[in-house]
Amino acid sequence: MHPVHKKWKYGGNLCCPWLALQPCFLSLGFTMSEVISVNALTKKYGELTAVDSLSFSIPQGICFGLLGPNGAGKTTTIEMLEGILKPSSGEIKLFGERATKKVFSRVGIQFQNTALQDYLKVDETLLMFSAFYENPKSVDELLNLCSLTECAKQDARKLSGGQRQRMLLALALVNDPDLIFLDEPTTGLDPQARRNFWQLIDQIKAQGKSIVLTTHYMDEAQVLCDDVAIMDKGKIIERGQPSALLAKHFKGVMVHLPVEHSQGRSIGIPFEVKGEHIEIVTEQVDETLQQLMQMNIPLTGMQIKNANLDDLFLKLTGHELRG
């Protein structure tokens, strides 16, 4: 395990020391190695600009999250990085080189939606994909790594959602890649299967591999990603460590009260109505609660929470998710 890539804990304020140290390295004249470097990347479908002149780079060894509502351009971006889609314009470099077959042999891909050949068992499918690469991981190792040993002899079509996603991950790891693309890997999975999948990704990260993840589960991004970029309408509208972004956009905590508690009167504190509740943002929770009690506002149904990426996502992209 690469010492500077170690993730300290799940949830809450994640801290990737590699990113934290980046300014120091740069000020000392060091250059962090980049697994992906993108310059003015654009993809157009006729009049529609799906990806609009994106420029960014991703340092080695981190989990980079590409977030955004449906239709934001995440999958188009990731498929251009994977070499599946041809950009309309712009430049992509992987491991500092222009993308070639040789470079792609260091890349592993898990697509958002994919099917496999019918009537093949899990181990047979892995064996077939292993034959495509020069130095593949052994099938047993892959089965073990992705917790698939028990269903190795099962028809791949009959796997559960979680098992299927783990098999697709195993396929992405067949060539022991240095960079792995995961496009919405837990979509449609139940909470337990999602958490099992997160553990697998954490194990892969622990091996020092770089991961690019797209997801619209903000909790997933918050748990797994060291660095996130939020996309909307084909552009990156915000980028940074999840904790740093939350600190930048939210001061204090959010107090939620049922909306009927405020009806017909002033509660003496600025608030915003959000659906069936009102939201008060405060840095001084004790004072706010005292104020509410002095105004005889009932506290039944009250919730106090820290802002998370869901809140940031909604704040940046708007409340209405585009289909």
Interacting residue ranges for another protein, rule: CB under 8 A: 82-85, 101, 104-105, 109, 111, 113-120, 124-125, 127-133, 171
Burial (CB count within 10 angstroms: exposed 0-12, middle 13-18, buried 19+), residue 81: buried
Nearer to another protein, 46 or 323 (CB): 46
- State the nearest-atom distance from the C-beta of 188 to another protein, in Å: 15
What is the DSSP code string of 87-101? -SEEEEEETTEE--H
Tell me how far apart the alpha carbons of residues 150 and 59 are, in angstroms, rounded to a whole number: 36
Q: How does strand 107-110 pair with strand 63-67? A: unpaired
The residues, ordered by sequence, that sit 6+ positions from 301 with a Cβ below 8 Å of its Cβ are 257, 258, 261
- State the nearest-atom distance from the C-beta of 114 to another protein, in Å: 4
Nearer to another protein, 128 or 302 (CB): 128
Nearer to another protein, 138 or 303 (CB): 138
Contact 131, 115 (CB under 8 A): no
Nearer to another protein, 104 or 198 (CB): 104
- State the nearest-atom distance from the C-beta of 24 to another protein, in Å: 37
- State the nearest-atom distance from the C-beta of 120 to another protein, in Å: 6
Number of H helices, E strands in the chain: 11, 14
Tell me how far apart the alpha carbons of residues 53 and 6 are, in angstroms, rounded to a whole number: 33
Nearer to another protein, 105 or 291 (CB): 105
- State the nearest-atom distance from the C-beta of 9 to another protein, in Å: 34
